Amino acid sequence: MFDTSSGHLVAALPTVQDSDDLYYDSARKRVYVCGGEGYVSVFQQEDADHYKFRARVQTAVGVRTAEYFGKGRKGFERFYLAVPARHDHGAEVWIYTVQD
């Protein structure tokens, strides 16, 4: 994690590799990192300089592209994953409801 005002590193945490997208959920103070290894890493912001691991959400190998829609009515926040086509399935969009 970086302080975007100063550019200084404030936290370094192990996360999923091969990531294209990450999102900050300001309402819950969480960071979501989607990666090609087959899961989403979720981190909780405790304060401006401290984060901790919260969850590892299993997805499908190769999923790197995501979109987070966190603004709107509470309980309707969504995390979308673009799952590429595989030998036994066509391409899919998986939709997750963000939980507290």
Amino acid found at 9: L
Q: What is the pLDDT of residue 72?
A: 61
Number of independent structural domains in the chain: 1
- Please report whether residue 10 resides in a domain: no
Q: What is the pTM of this model?
A: 0.84
Residue 70 is encoded by which pair of tokens? 């966190």
SS3 30: strand
- Please report whether residue 1 resides in a domain: no
> Which stretches of the chain score pLDDT less than 70?
72-74
Q: What is the pLDDT of residue 61?
A: 78
DSSP secondary structure code for residue 18 in this structure: S
Residue 37 lies in domain: 19-97
Q: What is the pLDDT of residue 3?
A: 86
- Please report whether residue 4 resides in a domain: no
